[in-house]
Structure 1
Amino acid sequence: MKVKSVVVKLFLLTSSVFIVLFLLMSVGQLLFFEDFYKHQQFKALKENTREFAAQYQMKKGDTEMVDAISAFLNENKAQLVVVDRDGNYLFDNPFKIVIALADGTRITIPLYVYRHHDQLMTAGLKTGDTISVTGLFQYEGNKEIFYSTQIKKNDGAVISRKTEHSLTSMQVLTGRIVHFVLPRADQWNIREGILNFAVTGNFPLADAELQTLEAGNRVTKEWVEPWSNAENLILLHPIMEGRTLSSIVMVVSSVAELQTTYASLKIYYLYFGIGGILLILLLSVFYSRVVAKPLLTINDMAIRLEGMDFTAVQPLKRQDEFGLLSRNLSSLAVKLDAALTRLREMNSRLVSDIERKEELERIQRAFISDISHELKTPLSIIRSYAEGLRDGVAEERRDVYTDTIIDECERMETLILNMLLLMRHDSQMTLFQPEPIALTDLLERTCRLMNAQLTGKQHRCTIHAKPDISVVADPALMERVMLNLLSNAIRHADPGSEIAIQVDEHTPQGVRVNVANQGARIPDEHIQRVWDRFYQAAASRSRNVTGSGLGLAIVMQIVRDHGQTCGVYNTENGVVFWFTLERYGEQLQL
């Protein structure tokens, strides 16, 4: 089964969710934003128109109304005029110059036609100045308006704008400024001229529209500019005096501007969408790696735990759930490592105990088998001689029979004792009591104990050792080793020969004790088997030698239990058995 990376899964999931949400939002904006934006704009326009109508109805001063209409124009990007029910102007754009001609006629000159309002700002016009205005009269919005193309002060300052008509075809009016309201830079609006065409094109009102206004309700309608075919929204808000329609607030808002804005937004959203998707992909990759990194680390920890590797599980240095999980895994690794260590130790001890038990059982079986085999011959001899005594053997043979039975009983007793000693050593039941002992005294004592056997075969026992040599060993067991080696040396030595005991104190093990005799040599094929239990090479060395075959096996077992070594080699005229001992003062290894 193919397992996908969690980083890939998390990246695909995160990027897919955000891209889908982003696309839904973008598509929703492209499909519904225009209608929503129009609705919100017209909703705000209606509310602001209602507020302006309320201010106008309160009959505030000219300055306050100028500020109110300026705020309305800037906030709503629309044109506003107050007319009566027939479309006659009651309050329109306040930014204008009114001059009085020589005959007293007053002419209104709108300022919104001047695109470069900074010329008006720097001209320094003020009430009372005499100016000459060049332009044309036009009838718009149910009133005659003088559109100027040039304003000239008496001191020579000229303010002009581009026009399609020549100055020679225009009228020149000279008069004194009696009213002048100059807009600030944030109050300038060049679309004011459209308002005049809208009034001309929509008044007089239709009967249905007039009835709606007289009922106190607003009228909303669409109007297309005749020269540019641009769409506009016209809002007519009634101002009532009691139940009578006194005036109408007319607002003209350009729908074309909204459409242009929305077209720009479409292009913007196209680039924004491409950039947004790329950003989402980058953030998804970063997010996936940041979130998946601790997961991958924890997964690696789990893999190590699965592989029984508890040493490399280190917790993450984080304070969140990932850090808590990693610390729990690390704690689990420590506990599992300790538990497995204890289990291995217990298992090792159990295996050792089982092997020990099996070894004891083997020793017991071997002991029973060996003693059964070794006791069979002496028991047969004893039985035969006992039956002879019972049958009335000749008187002169009775002592021989009796001595033979006694010798075989002693031989069996020695055999049993030696086998019991070996069994105790095999089962590690022998209690060692190592202590410093004088080696020369030990050797002299064993020679005295073997004096009867030495004298019986006319052997001489000589000791070649310094009197101050001390070793660390169990005195009783070392005495048993020397007795067995001397007994073996006497048994196989030529009559009247010398048994030599020599101590070499320059070996790496400490000291080495050599027991040499003069007699038959051990054949090379048998020399490594003399340590085996019940093995006797006497057939090749002497036909008259008897023994249990356990003495040398006991020697090897005792020496090894002391952590030492032993060996045997032939000389020109005999055999040398040797073993090592630890000198006093060196560490005892048992």
Structure 2
Amino acid sequence: MRKGIIRKSITLKLFIATSVFFIIFITTQLVLQSFFFQSFYTNKKVNTLKNNLEFLEKKYRITFKSAEGSISVIKKFEEDNNAKIVVLENNGLLSYITDTKEELKDSNKIRIIKAIIEQWTSNPEAFKNLQEKGNTITYIFNDPYYNLKHIVAIDPVVINNNVGKVLFAVSSLQPVDEAVKVMKEFFIYTYIIAIILILVLSTIYSKMISKPLVKINKTALKMAKFDFNEICAAHGEDEIGNLGDTLNFLSRNLKEALSSLQESNKKLKKDIEKEKELESMRKEFVASVSHELKTPISLIEGYAEGIKDDIMEEEDKDYYIDVIIDEARKMGVLVADMLELSRLESGTQKINIKPFIIDNIINSEVKKLNKINEDKNDKDRINILVDLEKEVEVLGDEDKIHQVITNFLTNAIRYTKPKGKIYITSKIYKDKLLVEVENEGENIKDEDLTKIWDKFYKLDKSRNRSLGGTGLGLAIVKNILKLHNSDYGVCNTDRGVKFFFALNKKDI
């Protein structure tokens, strides 16, 4: 809404200012022409007739002895000035008039000339005074009969220091009056057309000037809303074009500065969130470690005090010592796992990516498990089924992937039901090798499927120690597979639970 108001305001102001200026200008011009053109034109014609008559007087002095020469000069003057020449003797008698007998029959023309001549000859003193001064005089003669005006110019011809002749030049102002009347009528139409043109041109001009300003304003409004993607299209070599270019330059700089600031803010926010997450993880880690260490420490402390106080039977002494050694070993494993997990989560752990044959690792671990499995009773024995792609080279850290496979197989053994089966398979999927370890047993609750990758998370809420483990195995596996950019996960199946991960195949 505001942009529209601004646009209309600028365009309207320019339109009004331009229109008013040119309307005043043309109105003033037409008024001046209407009021002063007639008098200006009359004065111009009077002065022209006077100057030309004086020039004629000089020529007449030269040619007056030759009647033919004088007549030629006079006729040329009449044609050039649209005037009538009458020559009087110094005593007021008519000396020469160019009209023929037919032209003299025009009673109106003769009447006007006679009236002008009689005006002077009837006053001998004024006529004599005119001759003595020898100056050219001009005046406007009003014909009361037809209400017409005529310019009269009188110039004495001085020959041998005496006035020999008097030249009368008479020119009608009727063409001037008619021309002025026509012009005034024409001015009305001209004025209307001029007003229309002014309005049209003012509209075009105001839009042409306001258009780049509107574009600049649009860009500025976008910038005020921190949107620097708008490019000002106001270009040119003038100040408005320079302003548009400057605004674009400012927009680019502000966009870069804002982007840099946003990136810094994102990084800062990410760092703060990471710090909070690390703090939360530290607190959780300390609580979990305290809980995990509490039992073995209590057992070691209790059995050690029993040995010290010699409260057990002699045959139980070895048992007490075995318990202390076993709990110390578990604590050592827990500490080792915590250190490894800490390195993995901190990003300081480096992995050595190189090609290796993964089925060699799987077969090696299965062989160990089968050896352990043979020592079990028939009711506890587990059947391990293997179906692997042969001699497939994958890219990864062999030691770390060995650790992943060991953990998956250990968990499978731990949670497989008696006389159950473990299925170990590998298959090629596009440019990857997918490894799956599935055990027959109880499904994992849906809410636990994502949590089992967390530190110290155990499916048995009571943290029953009989199943063993530190609660860090899957957390370590998760971080190892993340370092390999591996797709991994766990899901329930009809037979039990399946863990899987994928590694890139070596390019051939």
TM-score range, shorter chain: 0.7 to 0.9
CA spacing shift, 1:33–1:381, aligned 2, 3 Å: same
**Equivalent residue number for residue 170 of structure 1:** none
> Could you tell me how far apart the structure 2 residues matched to 1:484 and 1:81 are?
141
Listed one character per residue, the Cα deviations across residues 212-257 of structure 1 (whole Å, up to 9, x for unaligned) are 5412334444444464343334332233346643332222233444
1:21 maps onto 2:25 in alignment? yes
Q: 2:87 aligns with which of 62, 67, 82?
A: 82
CA spacing shift, 1:242–1:308, aligned 2, 3 Å: farther
Q: Is the 8 A contact 2:138 2:152 kept in 1?
A: yes
Q: 2:38 aligns with which of 34, 38, 48?
A: 34
1:268 maps onto 2:186 in alignment? yes
CA spacing shift, 1:449–1:424, aligned 2, 3 Å: farther
Amino acid at match of 2:407: N
> Could you tell me how far apart the structure 1 residues matched to 2:201 and 2:454 are?
82
> Could you tell me how far apart the structure 2 residues matched to 1:328 and 1:451 are?
79
Q: Is the 8 A contact 1:15 1:280 kept in 2?
A: yes
Deviation at 1:330, TM superposition (A): 4.9
> Could you tell me how far apart the structure 2 residues matched to 1:223 and 1:526 are?
123
CA spacing shift, 1:501–1:367, aligned 2, 3 Å: same
Q: 2:53 aligns with which of 27, 43, 49?
A: 49
Q: Matched residue of 2:471: which SS?
A: coil
> Could you tell me how far apart the structure 2 residues matched to 1:226 and 1:513 are?
131
> Could you tell me how far apart the structure 1 residues matched to 2:13 and 2:56 are?
59
Q: Is the 8 A contact 1:472 1:581 kept in 2?
A: no
Deviation at 1:280, TM superposition (A): 2.3
Q: Is the 8 A contact 2:154 2:166 kept in 1?
A: yes
Listed one character per residue, the Cα deviations across residues 504-562 of structure 1 (whole Å, up to 9, x for unaligned) are 42667633332536xx6356478635444323345799883333222233334434543
> Could you tell me how far apart the structure 2 residues matched to 1:426 and 1:275 are?
86
1:411 maps onto 2:330 in alignment? yes
**Equivalent residue number for residue 361 of structure 2:** 442
> Could you tell me how far apart the structure 2 residues matched to 1:539 and 1:20 are?
97
1:581 maps onto 2:499 in alignment? no
Q: Is the 8 A contact 1:522 1:541 kept in 2?
A: no
* Residue pairs, 1:337-348, within 5 angstroms: 344-348=262-266
Which structure shows the bigger proportion of residues in strand conformation? 1
> Could you tell me how far apart the structure 2 residues matched to 1:226 and 1:551 are?
133
* Residue pairs, 1:263-302, within 5 angstroms: 263-302=181-220
Listed one character per residue, the Cα deviations across residues 355-412 of structure 1 (whole Å, up to 9, x for unaligned) are 4444334333332332233223322333333333444445724433333222222211
Deviation at 1:19, TM superposition (A): 0.9
> Could you tell me how far apart the structure 1 residues matched to 2:166 and 2:459 are?
146
> Could you tell me how far apart the structure 2 residues matched to 1:361 and 1:242 are?
132
Deviation at 1:565, TM superposition (A): 1.8
Q: Is the 8 A contact 1:86 1:204 kept in 2?
A: no
Q: Matched residue of 1:235: which SS?
A: strand
Q: Which stretches in structure 1 are left out of the alignment for 5+ residues? A: 97-109, 114-146, 148-162, 165-189
CA spacing shift, 1:510–1:270, aligned 2, 3 Å: same
> Could you tell me how far apart the structure 1 residues matched to 2:474 and 2:142 are?
134
CA spacing shift, 1:516–1:231, aligned 2, 3 Å: closer
Q: TM-score, normalised by structure 2?
A: 0.81
Q: Is the 8 A contact 2:358 2:394 kept in 1?
A: yes
> Could you tell me how far apart the structure 2 residues matched to 1:222 and 1:492 are?
136
Q: Is the 8 A contact 1:304 1:310 kept in 2?
A: yes
Amino acid at match of 1:554: I
Q: Matched residue of 1:580: which SS?
A: strand
Q: Matched residue of 1:247: which SS?
A: strand
> Could you tell me how far apart the structure 2 residues matched to 1:69 and 1:494 are?
147
1:544 maps onto 2:492 in alignment? no
> Could you tell me how far apart the structure 1 residues matched to 2:13 and 2:366 are?
91
Instruction: Give the structure with higher Rg (CA).
Output: 1
> Could you tell me how far apart the structure 2 residues matched to 1:257 and 1:420 are?
120
Listed one character per residue, the Cα deviations across residues 266-315 of structure 1 (whole Å, up to 9, x for unaligned) are 22222322232223223323333444444444444555555666556374
Q: 1:553 aligns with which of 475, 480, 489?
A: 475
Deviation at 1:11, TM superposition (A): 2.0
Please identify, of 46-55 and 540-549, the stretch whose mean Cα deviation from structure 2 is larger. 540-549
**Equivalent residue number for residue 71 of structure 2:** 66
Q: 1:231 aligns with which of 138, 145, 149?
A: 149
> Could you tell me how far apart the structure 2 residues matched to 1:425 and 1:23 are?
90
Amino acid at match of 1:551: G
Amino acid at match of 1:207: E
> Could you tell me how far apart the structure 2 residues matched to 1:215 and 1:521 are?
146
> Could you tell me how far apart the structure 2 residues matched to 1:64 and 1:293 are?
73
1:112 maps onto 2:103 in alignment? yes
Q: 1:250 aligns with which of 163, 168, 191?
A: 168
CA spacing shift, 1:535–1:278, aligned 2, 3 Å: closer
Amino acid at match of 1:445: S
Q: Matched residue of 1:544: which SS?
A: helix
> Could you tell me how far apart the structure 2 residues matched to 1:418 and 1:217 are?
135
CA spacing shift, 1:311–1:418, aligned 2, 3 Å: same
CA spacing shift, 1:441–1:257, aligned 2, 3 Å: closer
> Could you tell me how far apart the structure 2 residues matched to 1:193 and 1:525 are?
132
CA spacing shift, 1:513–1:265, aligned 2, 3 Å: closer
**Equivalent residue number for residue 394 of structure 2:** 471
Please identify, of 333-342 and 467-476, the stretch whose mean Cα deviation from structure 2 is larger. 333-342
Q: Is the 8 A contact 1:437 1:472 kept in 2?
A: yes
Q: TM-score, normalised by structure 1?
A: 0.71
> Could you tell me how far apart the structure 1 residues matched to 2:111 and 2:69 are?
23
Q: Is the 8 A contact 1:447 1:461 kept in 2?
A: no
**Equivalent residue number for residue 503 of structure 1:** 425
CA spacing shift, 1:368–1:456, aligned 2, 3 Å: farther
> Could you tell me how far apart the structure 2 residues matched to 1:27 and 1:568 are?
99
> Could you tell me how far apart the structure 2 residues matched to 1:445 and 1:224 are?
141
Q: Matched residue of 2:467: which SS?
A: coil
CA spacing shift, 1:66–1:42, aligned 2, 3 Å: same
Q: Is the 8 A contact 1:438 1:469 kept in 2?
A: yes
Deviation at 1:204, TM superposition (A): 3.4
CA spacing shift, 1:261–1:483, aligned 2, 3 Å: closer
> Could you tell me how far apart the structure 2 residues matched to 1:55 and 1:337 are?
88
Q: Matched residue of 1:58: which SS?
A: helix
**Equivalent residue number for residue 200 of structure 1:** 118
> Could you tell me how far apart the structure 2 residues matched to 1:417 and 1:192 are?
144
Q: Matched residue of 1:258: which SS?
A: helix
CA spacing shift, 1:68–1:337, aligned 2, 3 Å: farther
Amino acid at match of 1:485: F
> Could you tell me how far apart the structure 1 residues matched to 2:69 and 2:335 are?
138
> Could you tell me how far apart the structure 2 residues matched to 1:491 and 1:226 are?
142
Q: Matched residue of 2:341: which SS?
A: helix
> Could you tell me how far apart the structure 2 residues matched to 1:437 and 1:445 are?
14
Please identify, of 536-545 and 414-423, the stretch whose mean Cα deviation from structure 2 is larger. 536-545
